[in-house]
Amino acid sequence: MDFLPISKEDMQKRGWEELDFILVTGDAYVDHPSFGAAIIARLLESKGYKIGIIAQPNWKDTKDFEKLGKPRLSFLVTGGNIDSMVNHYSVAKKRRSKDLYSPGGKGGLRPDRATIVYCQKIREIFKNIPIMIGGIEASLRRLSHYDYWDNKVRRSILLDSQADILMYGMGEHQIVELADSLNSGIPIEHITYVKGTVYKTKTLDNIYEDYIMLPSYKDVCKDKITYAKSFLAQYENTDAITAKMLIEPYSDFYVVQNTPSMPLTTSEFDNSYSLPYMRTYHPIYEKDGGVPAIEEVKFSLISNRGCFGSCSFCALTFHQGRVVQARSHQSIINEAKKLVWEEGFKGYIHDVGGPTANFRGPACQKQLTKGACKHKQCLFPEPCKNLDIDHNDYLKLLQELRAIPKVKKVFVRSGIRYDYLINDKNNKQFFEELCEHHISGQLKVAPEHISDKVLDKMGKPKKDVYERFVKRYYEINRQIGKEQYLVPYLMSSHPGCDLSSAIELAEYLRDLGYMPEQVQDFYPTPMTLSTCMYYTELDPRDMSYVYIPKNPHEKAMQRALIQYRMPKNYDLVLEALKKANRMDLVGFDKHCLIRPRKALAEKEFYNKNAKGKKQKEEFKKKKEEFKKKKTIRNVHKKKGK
């Protein structure tokens, strides 16, 4: 077992003169199933194809792209595990200094819009070679989409990249069918039948199935209502069973999105994770200190894919789909038994989960034959009456993992859906064992906000659902004699959130006695419902107006309100309270968020000059004496003495 070839020397060791596929990725080469490029490469290898890896090539010349020669069948291109623009820029569009998917965490080793740049460079060198693109960057840009960084609607990445075929979703089914089609001699331009792919064509004469004609790219660019309608059609056609083919017209050709690929079966899912991964980064990165991204996943286990939570700001609906797929217990246990022998393992499995840890199957049996419902969600605004809420399978899996020799603790860190858990009428044993065995002092949950009008736009449950969960969580921890906490993820400036909603959240945190260390500003990434709202100021589901906090200063105020106790945020919080006519929250009462400026200055002076208990008492005494003398002087002054 060894890494896949990254050089001609590696090819020679295997006795290979030519590769069938060359995979170009924007990440460093990490041969671990948490990296999509590794799964696709190993899967092709298991089917008998010869594949090599070009990781983070220098895009400023052609040398790196030529080092493995010309592939027999195709180049495969991915921007990496994260969209390259999200990887490079904060929500404030400031350049990030680090890249966790690069050796040593060094930034600048991949270009902006990596998928496009890599494909264009390949096309420059190899004129007629087939190019197929995939990964999160391609998947979520497969049709026209609002681009936050350019602040405009961009066309399908298939066109800008000059690639031949785009694979969307996770890709296992697609890559094997595409590879076999190319290997059988079918020209790339004739491979238009693979589910989960997008291609371009000048004619619709060869399309025989039912399809939806989306508005043209030109029309969605010039009219936001049209854009919202187009987005809704895409949003409602993401399920493998119910979706129709989507066609988007451009000036002289069409971009055709085939229906989604079927979810993996349990045996297919197990197979993807049983392939001979090295489970670490390539040794060429040792000199740089390795690749930081491996640390989060090295001792973690992926148990599922897909999510029926359908949060508005999450793109999983478009990428992994709403039907949850799960690996078998035996597959996960086999991986765990290998994991305990890895260098650096200290007895702790860091996580057992996926997009949502406590989802271990489809939302309901109906999804298996009828697909996910187009016009309603499984958990929002209330849990569907058909929803199967059951934690028994996940509980059994965690118990089995705990029983493996050399395993001291099994943690759940990828996040649980608290609304799913609290609505489980038989959750007593799971909830208790979660608190007893699977939390390392604190549990991360994602209420995101507490204003019901904001939660409605987020697709999250109402505040009272979270409060029920919090109450039960602390009750259980008291019963088992543990002092464990909740760490809520909170988001500022989401569509629908105005200053009054931000203040409502600040008051909630005040009453809770909690101030988060980190706050996430809403980030408009491609192909989410929330991004559509951000761009159009419309909720595409009912075309109602949505308030959007776009002004950077207002966004700063909303963020500051969540961390209102931090001295650096004082001016922003005061400005926000004035603007919202909530000066009742400035004062000395316990319900106030901040004190008046003068009082704050006195407090800072006091804290600065009186550090010890004795000093504080002396300082207080001197201050009182000074006040008394000042009062006497004023009295004497009035009497003319």
Task: Quick: pLDDT tens for 394-406.
Answer: 999 999 999 999 9
Residue 408 inside a domain? The answer is yes
Claim to verify: residue 572 and residue 434 sit in the same structural domain: no
CB 364 within 8 A of CB 383: no
Q: Is 170 exposed, middle or buried (0-12, 13-18, 19+ CB in 10 A)?
A: buried
Rounded to whole angstroms, the Cα distance separating 258 from 196 reads 6
Give me the CATH number covering residue 507: 3.30.750.200
The string of DSSP letters for 558-582 reads: HHHHHTTTSGGGHHHHHHHHHHTT-
Claim to verify: residue 70 and residue 90 sit in the same structural domain: yes
Residue 447 inside a domain? The answer is yes
Closest CA to 243 of 168, 183, 294: 168
Claim to verify: residue 400 and residue 460 sit in the same structural domain: no
CB 110 within 8 A of CB 141: no
For residue 629, pLDDT beyond 70: no
Per-residue model confidence (pLDDT) at position 440? 87
Task: Quick: pLDDT tens for 457-499.
Answer: 999 999 999 999 999 999 999 999 999 999 899 999 999 999 9
Average pLDDT rounded to a whole number, residues 588-615: 69
Q: Taking the model in full, what pTM does it have?
A: 0.90
Closest CA to 455 of 501, 418, 513: 501
Claim to verify: residue 22 and residue 108 sit in the same structural domain: yes
For residue 577, pLDDT beyond 70: yes
For residue 377, pLDDT beyond 50: yes
Average pLDDT rounded to a whole number, residues 161-188: 97
Claim to verify: residue 127 and residue 188 sit in the same structural domain: yes
For residue 575, pLDDT beyond 70: yes
Look at the chain and report how many structural domains it folds into.
Answer: 4
For residue 608, pLDDT beyond 60: no
Residue 590 inside a domain? The answer is yes
Q: How many C-beta neighbours within 10 Å does residue 301 have?
A: 25
Instruction: Collapse the DSSP code of 241 into the 3-class scheme (helix H, G, I; strand E, B; otherwise coil) and give the result.
Output: coil
Torsion of CA 153, 532, 196, 48, to 10 degrees: 80
Per-residue model confidence (pLDDT) at position 415? 81
Closest CA to 410 of 332, 467, 485: 332
Q: How many C-beta neighbours within 10 Å does residue 216 have?
A: 17
Claim to verify: residue 615 and residue 605 sit in the same structural domain: no
Which structural domain range is residue 322 located in? Answer: 299-440
132 beta partners? 76, 165
Claim to verify: residue 585 and residue 603 sit in the same structural domain: yes
Claim to verify: residue 455 and residue 529 sit in the same structural domain: yes
Instruction: Collapse the DSSP code of 56 into the 3-class scheme (helix H, G, I; strand E, B; otherwise coil) and give the result.
Output: coil
Task: Quick: pLDDT tens for 215-243.
Answer: 999 999 999 999 999 999 999 999 999 99
Claim to verify: residue 336 and residue 471 sit in the same structural domain: no
Closest CA to 428 of 391, 483, 376: 391
Rounded to whole angstroms, the Cα distance separating 490 from 290 reads 32
Rg of the Cα atoms in the chain? 28
Task: Quick: pLDDT tens for 533-573.
Answer: 999 999 999 999 999 999 999 999 999 999 999 999 999 99
Residue 50 inside a domain? The answer is yes
Per-residue model confidence (pLDDT) at position 475? 96
Three-point CA angle 511, 513, 517, nearest 5°: 125
Per-residue model confidence (pLDDT) at position 470? 95
Claim to verify: residue 396 and residue 503 sit in the same structural domain: no
Per-residue model confidence (pLDDT) at position 641? 45
Per-residue model confidence (pLDDT) at position 603? 58
For residue 98, pLDDT beyond 60: yes
Rounded to whole angstroms, the Cα distance separating 393 from 499 reads 43
Rounded to whole angstroms, the Cα distance separating 307 from 357 reads 10
- Confidence tier at 633 by pLDDT (50, 70, 90): low
Claim to verify: residue 585 and residue 640 sit in the same structural domain: no
Average pLDDT rounded to a whole number, residues 167-181: 97
Claim to verify: residue 70 and residue 189 sit in the same structural domain: yes
> Last residue of a domain, which of 181, 197, 213?
197
Give me the CATH number covering residue 358: 3.30.750.210
